[in-house]
Structure 1
Amino acid sequence: MAVRRVLVAAAAASVAAVALIAGVAEAAGDRDRPATGDASKPHTSDFGTPVGDNVNTLSVGPRGPQLVQDTRAFEKLARFNRERIPERVVHARGTGAHGFFESYGDLSYLTRAGFLGGAGRKTEVFVRFSTVIHSKGSPETLRDPRGFAVKFKIDEKYGGGIWDLVGNNLDVFFIRDQISFPDMVHSLKPDPVTNIQDPNRYFDFFGGLGGAATNMLTTLYSDLGTPATLRETNGHSVHAYKLVNAERKVTYVKFEWTSMQGIKNFTAAEAMETQGRDFNHATRDQYDSINDGKFPSWELRMQVMPSDRMDKLDFDPLDATKRWPESVAPFKAIGKMTLDRVPDNFFQATESVAMSPGTFLPGAIEPSEDKLLQGRLVSYPDTQRYRLGTNYADLPINRPVSPVRTYTQDGAGNNGAMKGTLNYGLSLTHPVFATVDEARFSESKVCDVVTQAPIPFPADFKQAGELYESYSTRDKDNLVSNLAGDLGQVRSQLVRDTMCSHFYKANEEYGRRVAEAVKCNMRTVQKMAGHLDDGIPDDRRQ
Structure 2
Amino acid sequence: MAVPKRDASFNQLLEYSKKHLTDEESITTTYGTPVPEKDASLTVGYHGPVLLQDWFAIDQLAHFARERIPERVVHARGAGAFGYFEVTHDITQYTAACVFSEIGKKTPMAVRFSQVAGELGYPDTVRDIRGFALKFYTEDGIWDITGNNQPVFFVKDFVMFPNLIHVMKRNPKTHIRPDYDMFWDFLTLRQETTHTTLIFFSDRGIPESFRKMHGFGVNTYAFVNSEGKFNYCKFHWLSNQGIATLTSADAQRIGGIDPDYHIRDLYNAIHDGDYPSWNFYIQIMSPEQAAKSEFDPFDDTKVWPHGQYPLIPVGKLVLNRNPENYFAEVEQIGFDPAHLIPGIEPSPDRMLQGRLFAYGDTHRHRLGPNHIQLPVNCPFSIHNYERDGWGTIHSQGGAPNYHPNSFRGPENDKRARALTPHLPLNGVAKRIDSGNDDNFTQARVLYQRVLKPDERARLIQNIVTWLTPTTSILQERAIALFSNVDESFGKKIREGLNSLSLEQHVVL
Q: Same fold (TM over 0.5)?
A: yes
Return the alpha-carbon distance in structure 2 between the equivalents of residues 114 and 423 of structure 1.
Answer: 28
Tell me the residue number matched to 2:235: 255
Which among 246, 262, 265 is matched to residue 245 of structure 2?
A: 265
| Deviation, structure 1 residue 117 | 1.4
Return the alpha-carbon distance in structure 2 between the equivalents of residues 483 and 457 of structure 1.
Answer: 23
Tell me the residue number matched to 2:126: 142
Tell me the residue number matched to 1:518: 497
Tell me the residue number matched to 1:201: 182
The reply on whether 1:356 has 2:356 as its aligned counterpart is: no
| Deviation, structure 1 residue 494 | 2.8
The 5 Å alignment of 1:188-267 reads 188-197=168-177, 198-209=179-190, 211-267=191-247
Tell me the residue number matched to 1:502: 481
| Deviation, structure 1 residue 408 | 2.0
Which among 411, 417, 420 is matched to residue 398 of structure 2?
A: 420
- Secondary structure, in 3 states, of the residue corresponding to 1:256? strand
Return the alpha-carbon distance in structure 1 between the equivalents of residues 162 and 436 of structure 2.
Answer: 24
Name the aligned partner's letter for residue 404 of structure 1: I
Question: Which sits farther off after the overlay, 169-178 or 493-502?
Answer: 493-502
Say if 1:451 and 1:519 are closer, same or farther in 2 by CA, change over 3 A.
farther
The 5 Å alignment of 1:76-87 reads 86-87=70-71
The reply on whether 1:320 has 2:320 as its aligned counterpart is: no
Q: Taking structure 1 as the reference length, what is the TM-score of the superposition?
A: 0.77
| Deviation, structure 1 residue 271 | 1.1
Return the alpha-carbon distance in structure 2 between the equivalents of residues 136 and 93 of structure 1.
Answer: 4
Return the alpha-carbon distance in structure 2 between the equivalents of residues 419 and 178 of structure 1.
Answer: 39
Return the alpha-carbon distance in structure 2 between the equivalents of residues 189 and 104 of structure 1.
Answer: 41
Structure 1 residue ranges, 4+ long, deviating more than 6 angstroms after superposition: none
The reply on whether 1:431 has 2:408 as its aligned counterpart is: yes
Return the alpha-carbon distance in structure 2 between the equivalents of residues 85 and 101 of structure 1.
Answer: 31
Say if 1:511 and 1:85 are closer, same or farther in 2 by CA, change over 3 A.
farther
Return the alpha-carbon distance in structure 1 between the equivalents of residues 252 and 202 of structure 2.
Answer: 15
Tell me the residue number matched to 1:374: 353
Say which structure, 1 or 2, has more relative contact order (CA 8 Å, 6+ apart): 1
RMSD: 1.6
User: Cα deviations across residues 344-384 of structure 1 (Å, max 9, x unaligned)?
Assistant: 000000000000111111x4111111011100000000010
Gaps of 5+ in 1: 1-83, 521-542
Is the Cα contact below 8 Å between 1:305 and 1:328 reproduced in 2?
A: no
Which among 109, 118, 135 is matched to residue 125 of structure 1?
A: 109
Tell me the residue number matched to 1:116: 100
Return the alpha-carbon distance in structure 1 between the equivalents of residues 421 and 498 of structure 2.
Answer: 54
| Deviation, structure 1 residue 457 | 6.8
Is the Cα contact below 8 Å between 1:316 and 1:457 reproduced in 2?
A: no
- Secondary structure, in 3 states, of the residue corresponding to 2:119? coil
Is the Cα contact below 8 Å between 1:96 and 1:343 reproduced in 2?
A: yes
Name the aligned partner's letter for residue 360 of structure 2: P
| Deviation, structure 1 residue 192 | 0.8
Which among 143, 153, 156 is matched to residue 137 of structure 2?
A: 153
Return the alpha-carbon distance in structure 2 between the equivalents of residues 294 and 416 of structure 1.
Answer: 37
- Secondary structure, in 3 states, of the residue corresponding to 1:386? helix
The reply on whether 1:95 has 2:79 as its aligned counterpart is: yes
Return the alpha-carbon distance in structure 1 between the equivalents of residues 451 and 90 of structure 2.
Answer: 37
- Secondary structure, in 3 states, of the residue corresponding to 1:183? helix
Is the Cα contact below 8 Å between 1:255 and 1:303 reproduced in 2?
A: yes
Is the Cα contact below 8 Å between 2:192 and 2:435 reproduced in 1?
A: no
The count of aligned residue pairs is 428
Tell me the residue number matched to 2:362: 383
The reply on whether 1:443 has 2:427 as its aligned counterpart is: no
User: Cα deviations across residues 182-202 of structure 1 (Å, max 9, x unaligned)?
Assistant: 111111101011110111111
Name the aligned partner's letter for residue 480 of structure 2: S
Name the aligned partner's letter for residue 381 of structure 2: P
Return the alpha-carbon distance in structure 2 between the equivalents of residues 422 and 313 of structure 1.
Answer: 49
| Deviation, structure 1 residue 419 | 2.5
Name the aligned partner's letter for residue 279 of structure 1: P
Name the aligned partner's letter for residue 429 of structure 2: V
Say if 1:318 and 1:485 are closer, same or farther in 2 by CA, change over 3 A.
same
- Secondary structure, in 3 states, of the residue corresponding to 1:309? helix
Return the alpha-carbon distance in structure 1 between the equivalents of residues 498 and 84 of structure 2.
Answer: 51
